[in-house]
A and B are shown apart, each in its own frame.
Chain A
Amino acid sequence: MASPVIASGSGTGPDPAGADTGPAGGAIEALGRRRLVLRRFLRNRLSAAGGVVLVLLFAMAFLGPLFYPWDHRTQDDLALLTPPSPEHWFGTTKLGEDLFAQCMRGLQKSLLIGLLVAIISTALAAVVGAAAGYFGRATDRSLMWLVDLLLVLPSFLVVAILSPAFRGGSWLLLVVLLAAFQWMITARIVRGMTLSLREREYVKAARFMGMAPWPIIRRHILPNMASLLIIDATINVGTAITAETALSFFGFGIQPPDISLGTLIYNGTESALTFSWLFLFPAALLVTTVLAVNFLGDGLRDALDPTSLRGRRRD
């Protein structure tokens, strides 16, 4: 049954729907659609690898410490600044803390921040953009005015200035701050797409059957830009991790005793040439994470977009 499904998904020819499949067609077909996307996605080996790496990173960050004898605060007074060894996989710091445990702790934080910021900012962009585009008039003008205002504010400076005020507060505040400055451009794109989607006949049909605006947005507008939103979210993960790292590097953001990859890299820079493992391991983890997410995002975009040539089979 694979071939008709592929044919219909890629739009190459009219598929005689209803020729052969029985009542179970629904489940099979839905699976078929997903399988088509998956197939296109897997064709792009780099992005599939990105996905696998990301899952591994999560598993390592959250499960690794459970099986590892050291935690990120315990100091091993017998091993100060030792290079990587079977006992301390990534080596130790000058206080004798285990770098692997610290990296995992930092990775936990960075991954969480990345994901949360991505989800919050994309959701915010979707809601604001769709509302502005769908309702138009005053709603549109005031929301877009807000977007433009936030766009011209130098977000890094604002976060940097505000973060001492939140000192001692939870790192969740940082998530909120980062998310608050990351949604505007997407919101503008969403608004533009909404403007064209709301003129589509199926949206009109919904309106003429008496459906209220928010259900229309939820049911018809947002699902039709799902690919944009998914991709935006994956890209935002990388952006958020980088922004947090940058902030923490400059001493804002995550503050000691808490750890993120950014603070680890900051601490490691001065000894990057002498005790290179202090810098190399957290930096490598950061680069791996961001690259994995970006490859994943690329692949998703190509797989979801039926017009993309990269997912297509070559002759």
Chain B
Amino acid sequence: MLEVRDLEVSFPSEAGRVAAVRGLSFDVGAGEVLGIVGESGSGKSVSALATMGLLPPQARIGGSIRFHGTELLGKSDVALSRIRGRRIAMVFQDPLSALTPIFTVGDQVAEALRVHDPKLAKKAAAERAVDLLDLVGIPHARARSASFPHEFSGGMRQRVVIAMAIANDPDLIIADEPTTALDVTVQAQVLDVLKTAQEITGAGIVLITHDLGVVAGVADRLMVMYAGRAVEQGAVDEVFGHPRMPYTLGLLGSVPRLDATEKRPLVPIEGQPPPMTDLPPGCPFTLRCPMAVERCSAEEPALEVVGPGPGGPEPHRSACWRSGDIERVEHDVAGAGADTAATLFGVRAPAPGAAGTDGRPDRPVVLDVVDLVKHYPVTTGSVFRRRVGTVHAVDGISFDIREGEVLGLVGESGCGKTTTLMEILGLEPPMGGRIVVLGSDVAGLGRRARVAVRRDLQVVFQDPVASLDPRLPVGDVIGEPLEVHGVARPQIRRRVAELLDLVGLRPDHANRYPAEFSGGQRQRIGIARALALEPKVLILDEPVSALDVSIRAGVINLLEDLRARLGLAFLFVAHDLSVVRHVADRVAVMYLGKIVEIGAVDRVFAAPSHPYTQALLSAIPIPDPAVERRRERILLRGDLPSPADPPSGCRFRTRCPLFVELDESRRRRCVTEEPPRAAVGSGHEAACHFAHAREVV
């Protein structure tokens, strides 16, 4: 249906032409889902935009894009407009900017219909819009169609965008990272809707994503892109099961698996993608490739057939001179029960955790949070402020972290994770409850004592771009905490060099500016800064979620290594449960300002007892098509309720799958009585009246 041949796209830039896409060919058949994976800058979005004819005018496009046999390239914008939205529809990443804020969602869906069918009566279009909204799972579609986009949550907005995309019964839907901006439970819902939409319209889908897990569950075929080219292509099972290109292998090996029972080493792909201007000859992956030979840097390999598709028409192709050798290694290690990727990339098993959970009660508590409360007032009026409500951001949470231990704090956005962190880091007396850092209660700290406590409590932020001052050389950034705490200059210089070495950077990097480093390197700089004062507790706020997949593994490995070497305790905040499973010893799950389940990682992941934990775990895609197809999803209904008006009794009951199945008297208990945190196993607590373990991974 869609045939792309030798597509080339380039843009002008300061440094010369950026070749964003270099000779890309692929097909999409009717009713088929093609997954395109790659890191940012690999050219995946650009090729999608080229298909839609939405590239900026300065882009130079070559090759051919045929849709149902008609050439799309070179068509005028007017001619393309007749196809766009009617035959080919697009779902964008950011549902907020994809909808016009000043029109109601119903009007926008109706407009999508009327643009391509002017004869359609207004009323009929509005009716059809309501049907479509209902179809994508918007509750009370008739009433909600009169709402404006800002009255919808991110997941609901993405549903509206999908409704608009399928409005004209398109033949092809291009979804560009449709779930990247969403929480996992909402991602599961949206992927479900996308599948429904495909079943109804019978359209082909191009699903662009960087998340291998998403592709594993949804796509039929997979294309891996690197530096503007397809480096591997084939049926999903084939590519996941027998990758024949080191980059694909590395990508698969770099993702922590939710279903990993033992700690598997993660495969970091060193270095970054090459700059897309003046690419050297040869394979663009050469510099990062563990198997590179001379030929690789001389000649760029073409996509060659490396194996048959399992019964399908599409063979498995890969662009690598050494596919055959990979096959041999795969064969060899299969017998030894080892991991192909880990073997090829030469990754050693992770250092045994410093402490884990053994002998936990004997170790001293380094951070103790008891019944922490943080409410924000909601006020109205600008002259006479009136308090009209309270946001219960954090509503009585308790946990403790012992020496050398990693506690993962997980939950969806808006659950109060960040507020908790800020309360701890602020070292101000909390609104309610107690925060005790290394034995000293924060409430009783004087000014000087507070500064002293800061030495032992450091933070690594999520965004490696925002967390480093762009105008300070890296050496000054890392030396800053030392300077604040009055360390002498020559000593600072020595320590900075030491720290750079510790996080895997070179001492001469101290003289450069943050902008000259890649995301992964910047996060390393942030970690070096946090470690400068040799703290005892490190607070990590989503330290890897802003990084590309291949770089993530390197940072995670670094954190693990540092913990083992320095005996640090981490409070690791994340929304990605697979990362938490890999890094943490204990995990606490937060929902609407409360901890609903806490316990040792192995226990919580193997036998989650709170229905929310179960749903959260089941929503996370596993990068293995075979496993993914067998899994049963627990889909949550609706969105997170507003923390300004949390439900009575159990806060999760409005979305709880268990609650629906209960009888009237038991339901009453959920509505009226707030479940206390009760032990369900050794060191494992859940806050549910009817907690029972269930295996979901």
Q: CB within 8 Å of B: which residues of A?
A: 3, 6-18, 21-23, 25-27, 29-30, 33, 200-202, 204-206, 208-211, 215, 219-220, 223-224, 226, 312-315
Contacts and interface: CB of A to CB of B under 8 A. Distances in A.
Given A209-B481, A313-B14, A12 B469 contact: no
B485 interface: yes
Contacts of A8: 515-516
Contacts of B14: 6-7, 9-10, 12, 312-313
Interface string B492-520: 00000000000001111111110111100
Interface string B56-73: 001000000000000000
27 contacts: A3-B278, A6-B15, A7-B275, A7-B277, A12-B275, A13-B13, A13-B41, A13-B277, A14-B275, A14-B518, A15-B518, A17-B512, A17-B517, A18-B506, A21-B508, A25-B512, A26-B473, A27-B511, A202-B469, A204-B461, A205-B467, A209-B454, A209-B484, A210-B485, A313-B14, A315-B17, A315-B58
B521 interface: yes
Given A202-B477, A226-B471, 5 more contacts: A12-B276, A18-B508, A201-B467, A208-B458, A210-B484
A13 B18 contact: yes
A10 B521 CA distance: 18
Contacts of A25: 508-509, 511-512
Nearest to B519: A14
Contacts of B517: 17
A13 B276 contact: yes
B454 A208 contact: yes
A7 B454 contact: no
B601 interface: no
Given A7-B15, A17-B518, A315-B12, A12 B277 contact: yes
A280 to B, nearest CB: 44
Contacts of B468: 202
Which of A21, A33, A205, A223 has its CB near the most chain B CB atoms (within 10 A)?
A205
B444 interface: no
Contacts of B459: 204-205, 208
Interface string B257-287: 0000000000000011111111000000000
Chain B interface mostly helix, strand, loop or mixed?
Answer: loop
A15 B275 contact: yes
Contacts of B273: 14
Given A9-B515, A202-B466, A313-B14, A209 B480 contact: yes
B98 interface: no
Given A202-B469, A209-B480, A3 B511 contact: no
B432 interface: no
Say what secondary structure dominates the interface of chain A: helix
B561 interface: no
A30 B454 contact: no
Interface string B464-478: 001111111100010
A200 B510 CA distance: 22
Nearest to A39: B14
Contacts of A202: 466-469, 477
B278 to A, nearest CB: 8
A224 to B, nearest CB: 6
A210 B454 contact: yes
Contacts of A21: 508
Nearest to B276: A13
B512 A26 contact: yes
Contact of B513 (A23, A33, A226): A33
Contacts of B526: 205
A21 B506 CA distance: 11
Contacts of A29: 511-513, 516
A197 to B, nearest CB: 10
B347 interface: no
B529 interface: yes
Contact of B461 (A10, A201, A219): A201
Contacts of B511: 25-27, 29-30
B451 interface: yes
B146 interface: no
6 shortest interchain CB distances as A-B pairs:
A26-B511, A315-B12, A10-B14, A13-B275, A201-B467, A12-B13
Contacts of B472: 219-220, 223
B508 A223 contact: no
Contacts of A226: 471
A8 to B, nearest CB: 5
Contacts of B515: 8-9, 11
